[in-house]
């Protein structure tokens, strides 16, 4: 009789252990109140995301007033991080750019422009967010499409400074990006092929 019990108990423990360790909470002590465990589990998550937003708000304050120029500045900072092969910094700057894109105010443009800008911003935010959580190879993939978005955006908003659209024929069948300077510094290859590319267009 005892051995049968033992045989039964072991798989039960095993199942229970798996379930308890997998949900990472203290249900062992409070089996009668599973709902409150669930809430405990969620609270730290909320705290984390709030902390994250605070950090973003601080960056935002430094970027100014939610216009196209703020987006461009953040884009160039991100580009420079990729030129410097700096994955960590690009993550941070991707998040910053996502915020300034979100703050972008299109109200001064015509209806057609507004709807196009909204579309561009939506797409760009997604890429910026992915950049904020990816390895550098992925960041560069997203940066390619992000660059297209920002270029299309500038075509509508214009720019205070002269920009240079540069082009590297080697990366992913040919990829463009924007730069403040005429000098080619390649964000897709970084130090691996720093000067690969050419100026394709001047944007005033």
- Residues in the site for another protein, rule: CB under 8 A? 9, 12-13, 15-20, 22-23, 27-28, 31-32, 34-35, 38, 119-120, 122-123, 126-127, 141, 145, 149
| Nearest residue (CB) to another protein, 127 versus 185 | 127
User: Residues 20, 60: contact at Cβ < 8 Å?
Assistant: no
Tell the smallest beta-carbon distance from residue 181 to another protein (Å): 28
| Nearest residue (CB) to another protein, 8 versus 170 | 8
Cα radius of gyration rounded to whole Å, the chain:
24
CA distance linking residue 160 with residue 16, whole number of Å:
63
Structure token pair of residue 110 = 């015509």
Which among 181, 127, 171 has a CA at the least distance from the CA of 150? 127
CA distance linking residue 82 with residue 143, whole number of Å:
9
| Nearest residue (CB) to another protein, 60 versus 125 | 125
Tell the smallest beta-carbon distance from residue 182 to another protein (Å): 29
| Nearest residue (CB) to another protein, 16 versus 155 | 16
Chain centre distance of CA 115: 23
Which among 122, 166, 169 has a CA at the least distance from the CA of 147? 166
Tell the smallest beta-carbon distance from residue 126 to another protein (Å): 7
User: Residues 168, 197: contact at Cβ < 8 Å?
Assistant: yes
CA distance linking residue 5 with residue 59, whole number of Å:
62
Tell the smallest beta-carbon distance from residue 62 to another protein (Å): 29
Residue 74 has φ and ψ, to the nearest 5°, of -65, -35
| Nearest residue (CB) to another protein, 145 versus 194 | 145
| Nearest residue (CB) to another protein, 122 versus 183 | 122
Tell the smallest beta-carbon distance from residue 81 to another protein (Å): 21
Tell the smallest beta-carbon distance from residue 109 to another protein (Å): 17
CA distance linking residue 149 with residue 137, whole number of Å:
19
């Amino acid at each position: 009789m005892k051995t049968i019990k033992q045989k039964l108990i072991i798989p039960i423990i095993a199942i229970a252990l798996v379930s308890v360790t997998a949900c990472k909470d203290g249900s062992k002590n409070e089996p009668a109140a599973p709902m409150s465990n669930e809430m405990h589990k969620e609270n730290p998550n909320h705290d984390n995301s709030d902390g994250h937003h605070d950090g973003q708000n601080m960056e935002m304050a430094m970027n100014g007033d939610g216009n196209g120029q703020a987006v461009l500045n953040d884009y160039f900072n991100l580009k420079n991080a990729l030129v410097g092969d700096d994955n960590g910094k690009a993550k941070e700057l991707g998040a910053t750019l996502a915020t300034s894109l979100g703050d972008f105010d299109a109200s001064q443009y015509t209806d057609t422009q507004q709807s196009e800008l909204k579309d561009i911003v939506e797409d760009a935010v997604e890429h910026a967010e992915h950049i904020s959580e990816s390895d550098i190879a992925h960041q560069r993939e997203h940066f390619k499409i992000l660059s297209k978005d920002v270029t299309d955006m500038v075509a509508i908003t214009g720019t205070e400074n002269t920009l240079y659209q540069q082009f590297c024929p080697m990366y992913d069948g040919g990829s463009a990006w924007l730069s403040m300077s005429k000098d080619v510094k390649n964000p897709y290859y970084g130090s691996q092929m720093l000067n690969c590319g050419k100026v394709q267009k001047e944007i005033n």
